[in-house]
Amino acid sequence: MSDFAYSKGLKRRILIVEDEEINREILGNMLQDDYAVSYAENGAQALEMLHEKKVRYSLILLDLLMPVMSGEELLGKIKADEMLSGIPVIVMTSEKPAEVSSIKHGADDFITKPYDSPEVIKARCERIIQLYEDKSIIRSAEKDELTGLFTREFFHEYVRQADDYDEISSDDAIVLNVEHFHMINEMFGRDMGDEILKKIANALMQIFGSGMYIGCRPDADYFYLYVDHRDSYDGLFTGLSDELEKYSHIPKIRIRAGVYQNVDKQISIDERFDHAKLACDRIRGDYTREVNFYSREMNDADLFHERLIHDIDDAIANRNLTVFYQPKYGIQSEKPELRSAEALIRWKHPELGMISPGEFIPLFESNGLIQKLDHYVWREAASQIRKWRDKFGVTVPVSVNVSRVDIYDPELENGLIEIIEESGINVSDLMLEITESAYADDAKGLTDVADKLRARGFKIEMDDFGTGYSSLNMITTIPIDVLKIDMSFIRNMNRDEKNRKLVELVMEIADFLKVPAVAEGVEDESQLEALKKMGCQLIQGYYFSKPVPPEDFEKFIKQEA
């Protein structure tokens, strides 16, 4: 601000408060080339001028010994007035004891009478004005206007100072977030949202203010705290959520927190709070926990997932992804017969080695990248069906997964037809697996999509049946061609009577719907025989084969031939 004002030729205004006319003129002559100068003959007149709203003063030069109202009394009134306390004051006196007293009462500097050193006086005025302007700019940038907490830059600086003053103390970095805060703003208004943020800031001071506490609001609904270490945070923020609900009458305001305990002071402040934020964001939507603690394992997992996200395009381009196939056998004939296969993706990373589907499939389902993976599998499976048909003269239908994100893609149907036409196979050769949970989430929307696909000749398999909590009423209305029983029921059906009864119930549902049932995860002959007696038509699992690459799958085709 100081440099800006000087460069633009702006003149600050100085108020000279002096009862002797000759002294007023001497000071005025010294300063008028550089400043706009106003004059007052006593403290009362000066106070009246200072309260004029149209005039802004950058400095007051104040004589102490004056009639009506002394300079010392005026100084006290200035420093007690919130509107005036930001104006610096230089006291003018010839008495040494008065200098010390003036400084103690809030004066910023003093000038010794008589005024015989113009350059010194001008230099002191310039320095005090610049200091106050810089201080004013800093103060305006230091605090978040809404909550009074530090802004990010100043928060970092105070954390650095805390570390410098006490390098061996144990401190915790905390990140708090208001779950779905944007919905509060939209439903109850921004004013209510602002009040909630202010309440949180005040409450945090009450919770942590007795010890070392540095607070910041870096973003709209996030709070960063640097506090003395504590071993437990149990129930610490529950009371805060309850208080906010009581104040706002908004139910279920949820505060979640991520805590990085005993921070490593050798890493940057940004890294410390990145760790705490990672822990905080990990429990988004998890209403069973209000606090989550950062760990090295969590960080490693996060970095690993980021690496997978970064590398997925290269994996597709370089064909590091391989589609494996697990055979499905019909078991109602005297000898099991190969009927079809399920396509299952495998990833051999050039640096990380084999990556479990359990690692990357849930990750890509959560961020939408699963669609890239699915499209890759569809093309590979369709191409493989054609290769086997050309090589062996038989068609092995293959089931491929259709994820939630695929279902709501308006180009799903056209994309599948394009793949079918490119490969030269029949629509019925590529069977589409949709999980039961997807039906349960949006039965109407998914039913419409499934109806369209079936109208084009695709067969729809409901995967993982028994795990998605669908209603019996929904089962009777959704369009499916195959019901797949989840392996968790098959695994324990010969050891647990309840699981066995559930499998029998699913078989009855399939019979009622007049669709074949496929049992997943069959591992031994006793399971096969039990399922055969129940009327199960198809099974897959390690009893016949684990998922294998296409060249190894060919032995099953040859055996059938």
CA distance 48 to 58: 16
Residue 304 phi, psi dihedral angles, 5° rounding: -60, -45
Domain residue ranges in the chain:
2-140, 152-294, 327-343+395-560
Cβ neighbours of residue 281 under 8 Å, at least 6 residues apart? Answer: 177, 258
C-alpha dihedral sign at 370, 371, 376, 378? positive
Q: What is the largest CA-CA distance in the chain?
A: 125
Query: What is the predicted pLDDT for the residue at 64?
Result: 83
C-alpha dihedral sign at 115, 119, 125, 131? negative
Q: Which residue has the tokens 């149209």?
A: 54
Return the CATH architecture of domain 327-343+395-560.
Alpha-Beta Barrel (3.20)
Query: What is the predicted pLDDT for the residue at 135?
Result: 75
Whether a cis peptide bond, with omega within 30° of 0, leads into 114 is yes
User: Are 21 and 55 within 8 A, CB to CB?
Assistant: no
Query: What is the predicted pLDDT for the residue at 473?
Result: 61
Work out whether strand 109-112 and strand 538-539 pair parallel, antiparallel, or are unpaired: unpaired
Return the CATH architecture of domain 2-140.
3-Layer(aba) Sandwich (3.40)
CA distance 427 to 419: 10
Query: What is the predicted pLDDT for the residue at 491?
Result: 85
In terms of C-beta density within 10 A (0-12 exposed, 13-18 middle, 19 or more buried), how is residue 102 classed?
Answer: buried
Query: What is the predicted pLDDT for the residue at 394?
Result: 94
Residue 329 phi, psi dihedral angles, 5° rounding: -115, 140
> How far lies 528's CA from each of 336, 531, 546, in Å?
10, 5, 16
Average pLDDT per block of 10 residues along the chain, 561 residues long: 48 88 89 89 90 84 87 87 85 75 80 81 87 72 82 88 84 92 86 90 87 88 93 85 83 89 93 94 86 89 90 95 96 92 96 92 90 96 97 96 90 95 95 79 79 93 71 71 88 84 89 91 92 93 95 93 70
Query: What is the predicted pLDDT for the residue at 445?
Result: 78
CATH code assigned to 152-294? 3.30.70.270
Q: Which tokens sit at 430? A: 């590529």
pTM: 0.64
3-state helix, strand, coil in the chain (%, to 5): 50, 20, 30
